[in-house]
Amino acid sequence: MSLFIDTLRGKRGPRPPVWLMRQAGRYLPEYRALREKSSMLEMVMTPELACEVTLQPLRRFPLDAAIIFADILTPLIGMGSRLEFKKGEGPVIENPVRSAADVAKLRLPAPAENVQYTLDAIRLVVGELGEKTPLIGFSGAPFTLSCYLIEGQSPGDLERTKAMMVADPAAWHALQEKLVTLCVEYLVAQAEAGCRSLQVFDSWLGHLGPREYERFVEPYLVKVFHEVRKRADVPVVFFATGVTGLFPQLARLDAHAFGVDWRVSLPQALRLLGREVPLQGNLDPQILAGPWEYVERAAREVLAEGASVPAHVFNLGHGVLPHTPPENVQRLVDLVHRRSA
């Protein structure tokens, strides 16, 4: 039994479970030490290293879930993308997708071939964690993956992505179909390898208005949730940022829970979603990086708001930032653990 899994299934426990997006990463000195010797991709593609990095935050903090160390972009490599994580620039794809012909060239290898390294890392982590702490698997959503594939770098204002959407809808829709398959197969394979929950990241969705969302994105996202829920019996969380204006539409997804960023309060998010559903979030990561006195106040406010929604998983509104003091993470996790509802 797990507090985290129960909460995602709508069952409120004695306190909210807590984990943090990007809980493994550069804010931890032990991560930076490993990172000095290997690139980000080498770390993801070496199951022993990916396992070690996944467990690093769990050794320090009594977190209620682990998340596999990988990236939403690594499955694109097997599709034919030349992906690199460049210092200071973030991810770069040297051969972006710009035409229907580029879309047609994208391959769809099975997960066992494409992301064997992540599936192996999952089995290692699950072996180490045992029953006590569930492991989360994840995928980028088709829209956010499209943004990186088409722009070829940090998506910015999505100029080329939106241009393809409206000027070459046939190419757009063909790309979405392929990415739905990638995303579904990747998520199901992670559940089969031992992940007890799945999260879909749609980090760039907040750049769309509701009408383009409904026309160009929603049918595919609906399909992702529909297919994954048919094939994997684990709770699935949907996360995006800057999507307060899309909550009424997002509520139609067959997700077990929704991740909420810090731009909206938890009760307000629930009202906009318009249905009784567990929420995950939503402390501002920038606040967590600041003075503890204010972190404490803000965290208590998130806890109080979380007590008024059907079920609450404590998390940040986005990932832990590299300049966050590990001490603040320690104190935050302790604060949530001391809380009993």
Return the number of the residue (176 or 203) whose C-beta is nearest ligand CP3. Answer: 203
Of 103, 33, 116, 36, residue with least CA distance to 74: 116
**Shortest Cβ distance from residue 26 to ligand CP3 (Å)?**
5
Tokens 């004695």 — which residue? 14
According to CB under 6 A, which one of 24, 65, 188, 257 is a site residue for ligand CP3? Answer: 24
73 binds ligand CP3 (CB under 6 A): yes
x/- letters, 150..179, toward ligand CP3 (CB under 6 A): ------------------------------
**138 binding ligand CP3? (CB under 6 A):** yes
Contacts of 199 (CB under 8 A, 6+ apart): 67, 136, 137, 138, 236, 237, 238, 239, 259
Interface mask toward ligand CP3 for 87-106; x: CB under 6 A = ---xx---------------
Task: Give the separation between CA 242 and CA 213, rounded to whole angstroms.
Answer: 13
Among 85, 117, 174, 272, binds ligand CP3 (CB under 6 A): 85
Query: Could you report how far apart the first and last alpha carbons of the chain are, in Å?
Result: 19
Q: Which of 319, 328, 336, 339 binds ligand CP3 (CB under 6 A)?
A: 319
The interaxial angle of helices 29-37 and 47-60, nearest 10 deg, is 160
Least distance in angstroms from the C-beta of 211 to ligand CP3: 24
Report d(CA 5, CA 17) in Å as an integer: 9
Report yes or no: 273 and 253 within 8 Å, Cβ to Cβ. no
Q: How far is the CB of 43 from ligand CP3 (least distance, A)?
A: 8
CA-based angle 106:112:114, to the nearest 5? Answer: 30
- Displacement of CA 307 from its chain's centroid (Å): 23
Q: How many other β-carbons are positioned within 10 Å of the β-carbon of residue 274?
A: 11
Residue 40 makes contact with ligand CP3 by CB under 6 A? yes
| Residue span binding ligand CP3 (CB under 6 A) among the ranges 24-32, 181-189, 214-222, 246-254 | 24-32
The residue with tokens 């209620």 is 64
Instruction: Give the range of 69-77, 116-124, 208-216, 299-307 binding ligand CP3 by CB under 6 A.
Output: 69-77
Q: Of these, 4, 27, 61, 69, which contacts ligand CP3 (CB under 6 A)?
A: 69
Residues near ligand CP3 (CB under 6 A): 21-26, 35, 40, 67, 69-73, 85, 90-91, 138, 201, 203, 319
Residues annotated as catalytic are: 22, 26, 35, 71, 148
